[in-house]
Structures are given as structure tokens and as C-alpha cells.
Amino acid sequence: MKTHSIEIRKYNVLLSMLASCCLCASAMSAESRPNILLILADDVGREVLECYGGSSYETPNLNQLAASGAMLEHCYAMPVCHPTRVTLMTGQYPRHLGNPKWGSFPKHAESRTFANVAKNAGYATAVAGKWQLCLMKDDTGQPRRMGFDEWSLFGWHEGPRYHEPMIYENGVLRTDTAGKYGPDLYIDFLVDFMRRNHERNKPFLAYYSMALCHDVTNDLKAPVPHGPRGRYDNHAEMVEQMDLQVGRLMRFLKSSGLDDNTLILFTADNGTAAKSKLSAKGKRNEFVYEKVVSQFKGQSVPGGKGRLTDWGTRVPTLAVWKGVITPGQSWNDLVDFSDLLPTLADLLGGALPADAKLDGHSFAALLRGEGHSTRGWAYAEHRGRFFVKTQDRKLYSTGEFYNTEADPFEKSPLEPTALSTEATSDWNLLKQAVKDLQTTNAPIAQ
């Protein structure tokens, strides 16, 4: 009997130890989940950043960001902003959401955004800057339904985004922006959000949807105010401001100690615009423009926004995660914007939307240094036409086939009957993908 009692006590001690180990493992797992700072620049192609090979603009803070982590060489967005944001939010291509109208978002997908994934995983969430998924005056609560606890967003196609901006903050129109610069206010808002949640040990997802480097809106009854130069900032000046704003965020993370466990992702919604507004003459749509041409690895590159070329869709993407991502890396894995939602679900321990059929593939293993992206081809669409591509080769839905590494301006289509073995393999893969996409309205297995 005594022996039996001793064995029971030993068994109970063992159970207690196992339970304690499980609790410790659970706590460690929760603590190891990173904060997320997602920065989405507007109208910024790879040729703009020095770290990618651009030489027209100085981008020291972005260069430092790249040196602190990894550069993704093959990340693809849609060639214009609204479909990119729909894809980013949902993990689905616009074609699989009924091609939402410009400036709208499908009601049935509002609960399935990456912000709701983060919120359901216990994260505080905030967004600042550009929204573009509704007119804020018509639906001031949309960001909350889509998973954001807090938001500070300019009235897209309602008022200014830069000087004396029109900002809706948590559903209320601000009345104190006279004489102020929008990007400064968006940064102030996000810094305050991150600081408050850091102080209460709450993990956070902060989404900085930059206004920069998109020029001012052109469809209001009266043009928006010029800046202190007596005109709008030109493209080079907006690039400088973009880099400065990124620097402000990086300095805050470092000074607060948040850089120790914050995953920073910087990317852009599409390529650089081909022209930018410099000034308004006082009447609607009477603007002075500049052409935007950038130097990139010895080539002159006109802005590619609105085109399905790599200059319109292949966007700069930087990832920094101190102690996890080895600094100074360059990754050739394929990624497109549908991949962010499943990646965040992996990283944050969040559940994927149960009723969503995602086009995205998680690249969390790549970020953790445990593997690679499983994506076989990247995708982008525009005005009823689309492409699928590997790192080097691209096939359009209309049949044109290019080697984008050797022919980045897509001047000389490849002849499918005269391909190398490797090119033939890509041709067959992409041809099947195009066929599948044209015959089904569901995500395609890769």
C-alpha cells in the first residue's frame, strides 16, 4: 500500500512537471510571436531604391533597412493600387472576388482580412495613410469591420493627403490639420499606437499605407493646396520624404527596444508613375506635370505604373526581423501580394478564414530561415488581361511569352518552338496555369 502511494505521488509529480513544461512552451510560443510593421509605399518601383540598383535618388534609410535584413527580388503586385490593396487584404486575386469596382471592397470579405486574422490572434491593429476601399465620408466604420482597432486615413478622392490633409481618425474628421503635413501625422499616429501597446505588453500589427510617392488627386472641384514651395513636391522630393518617414519609424523602434521583436516588411503597391503633378493653375484638371524617368543599373526606366510589365508589377520588398533574418540577404523566391495573409496567419498563430479559398501561399518559412516559398508562379491582372510568371519567364493570357531577365522591356517575344529545355519547362508550367485560370473561378493549385 505504501509502495502504491509513493507511485501515485511520483505520477502526480510527473503530470505536474509535464503541465508546467506545456505552459512554459505555450508562453514561449506567445512571446516569440513578432509585432508586425507593414509599410506599403505608393507608386514606387524597384528602380527608385538605391539598394536595388537605382541611382536617381538617395534612399539612405531604406538602404539601411535592406542591409539589416533581406531583399526579395521577385515580389509581384498588381500594376495599379486598388486591385493590389484588395489582394493584400484578402489573400485572393480580384478575379476571384468578382473584380470589385474601383474604390470599393466586397462586403462578404470584410471579416476575412489580414487585419482580422491578426486581431483574432490577440493583436492590436491599426492603419494610417491611404485607404481607397471606400469614400470615408460614406462609411466611416469600414476599417473597424475590416479588423482595425484604430485608423487615421485621408479622404481618398475627398480632399488633400499632403498639405492640410483631410483625415478621418477613428471615424471622426480631424479639424486640426491646417498648416500640417499628412505623412508626419500618419507617422505620429502609428508611433503613438505602437508605444501604447508596447507599454501594456500587447502584440501589435501596424499598417502604414503610405501616401508617398503618389501625387495629389485631380478630380476635386478645386485643386488641393500647394506646399511651402508654392507647388506640389516633385517625384524626387516625394522619394526623399518617403525615405525620411521610414527613417523616423526605424529610429522609434530602436529607441523603444521594439526592434528586438518586430518584423518589418516594406513593399510597394505597384510600379512608379510615368508622370507626376507639379502644380495647379486654379481650375479643375488644369495641371502642370513632370515625366518620371529613373536610372537603374545603367538604364533609363520610365515609370511603369498601369502596365503589366515587370516595371509595373515587380515591386521592391524588404524584410527585417532582428535575430531571425540574417542581415544582408537577397532572396529569389517568388512572392505575390496574395501571400501576405497566409504568411501573417502562420507567423501570428492566427486561423485562416474558414470560408475563403486563398490564392496566397505562406512564405513564413522563408522569413524564419526554415525553408522557401512554395509558389510556382506569380500572378498579376489588369483590365481583363493577366500574366503568370516564374522568376525569368512570363506568359500573358493573350499568348505573349518573354524572358524578362534578358528582355526587361519585353521587346522580343520568345518562340515556343525554339526554347531551351529549362524554358520549355517554364512554358509548359505557365501554359497550364493560364489554361486553368481561364477555365475556373477558383484558386489554382501550384
Strand 150-154 relative to strand 124-129: parallel, antiparallel, unpaired? parallel
Banded model confidence at residue 194, pLDDT cuts 50, 70, 90? very high
Task: Clarify whether residues 369 and 401 are in a common domain.
Answer: no
DSSP H helical segments within 257-360, as ranges? 310-313, 340-348
With a cut of 50, say whether residue 15 has pLDDT above it: no
Integer Cα distance of 178 and 97 in angstroms: 39
In a domain, residue 7? The reply is no
Q: Which of 333, 352, 376 is the last residue of a domain?
A: 376
Tell me: do 50 and 123 sit in the same domain: yes
Q: Which three cell numbers stand for residue 248?
A: 523616423
Q: What is the pLDDT of residue 283?
A: 61
Query: Are 149 and 298 part of one and the same domain?
Result: yes
What angle is formed at CA 396 by the lines to CA 53 and CA 380, rounded to 5 degrees? 60
pLDDT tens digits, 309-353: 999 999 999 999 999 999 999 999 999 999 999 999 999 999 998
* Higher-scoring residue by pLDDT: 226, 218: 226
For residue 338, give the 3-state DSSP assignment. Answer: helix
Phi-psi region of 298 (alpha: psi -120 to 50; beta: other; left: phi over 0): left
pLDDT of residue 1: 41
Give pLDDT tens digits for 235-251: 999 999 999 999 999 99
Q: How is 133-198 classified by DSSP, letter by letter?
A: SS-GGG-TTHHHHTT-SEEEEE-TTTS-SSBS--EEETTEE-S--TT-BHHHHHHHHHHHHHHHHH
| Angle, helices 81-90/340-348, rounded to nearest 10 degrees | 30
b/e code 45-74 from CB counts within 10 Å (16+ = b) = bbbbbbbbebebbebebbbebbebbbbbbb
Q: Could you tell me if 293 and 435 lie in one domain?
A: no
Least confident span in 208-217, 283-292, 371-380: 283-292
Residue 24 lies in a domain: no
Tell me the C-alpha distance between 187 and 84, whole Å: 22
Predicted local confidence at residue 444, as pLDDT: 87
Average pLDDT for the chain: 92
Residue 234: other Cβ atoms inside 10 A: 18
Structurally, the chain folds into a number of domains equal to: 2
Residues 6+ apart with CB under 8 A from 48: 54, 56, 57, 59, 213, 239, 272, 294, 316
Q: What is the largest CA-CA distance in the chain?
A: 99
CATH code of 185's domain: 3.40.720.10
Q: What is the pLDDT of residue 26?
A: 35
pLDDT tens for 133-188 read 999 999 999 999 999 999 999 998 999 999 999 999 999 999 999 999 999 999 99
CA Rg, the chain, in Å?
23
User: What size, in residues, is the chain?
Assistant: 446
**Contact between residue 208 and residue 191 where contact means Cβ atoms under 8 Å apart:** no
54 is a domain residue: yes
**Are 175 and 266 members of one domain?**
yes
Q: What is the mean pLDDT of residues 256-270?
A: 98
Element (H, E) at 89: helix 81-90
Residue 286: band (very low, low, confident or very high) from pLDDT cuts 50, 70, 90: confident
Q: Do 263 and 123 lie in a common domain?
A: yes
Range of the domain at 410: 385-439
Interatomic CA distance for residues 87 and 90, integer angstroms: 5
Burial of 268 (0-12, 13-18, 19+ CB in 10 A): buried
Q: Do 335 and 268 belong together in one domain?
A: yes
